[in-house]
Amino acid sequence: MNSDLISLDDGEYGNSSTFCAEPYWYQRFHSPYYNQSHIKFRDKIRQFVEKELSPYVNEWDEAGTYPPELHEKAYKAGILGAIWPKEYGGTPPPLFDAFHDLILIDELARCAAGGILWA
């Protein structure tokens, strides 16, 4: 097996109680497209969403705005402009590919607030 391919321990990922709630590549199925870089990127975004977005989105939706410092927090976390090149202020992973972009949108959508996702 190629060492770049994902190797997961039981229970590390894909342990959601909701059927198909996680991508199949977190459920121990082989994918030639996802590697450890994707897992690390996904973890970084998920932690940011759980800490900085999900607890506050209802409040922000009611107010119709969000705190401006959220942009700086996202940049420091390495996820703001992750699909942009560094020379344009982006924070892409070292080996960025289109699957990182898919992971970014998928994980940000977990906060269930479309306004935050697009802002």
Backbone conformation region of residue 29, classed left if phi is above 0, alpha if psi is from -120 to 50, else beta: beta
Mind listing the pLDDT tens digit for each residue in 72-111? Answer: 999 999 888 888 888 988 888 888 898 898 899 889 998 9
**82: number of CA atoms within 13 Å, CB side?**
26
Say which residues have a Cβ less than 8 Å from residue 9's Cβ, sequence separation at least 6.
none
- pTM above threshold 0.85: no
Residues 6+ apart with CB under 8 A from 81: 75, 88, 89, 90, 91
Question: What one-character DSSP code corresponds to residue 96?
Answer: -
pLDDT score of 69 more than 50: yes
pLDDT digits (tens, 9 = 90+) for 4-24: 444 444 444 455 666 666 766
26 pLDDT tier (thresholds 50, 70, 90): low
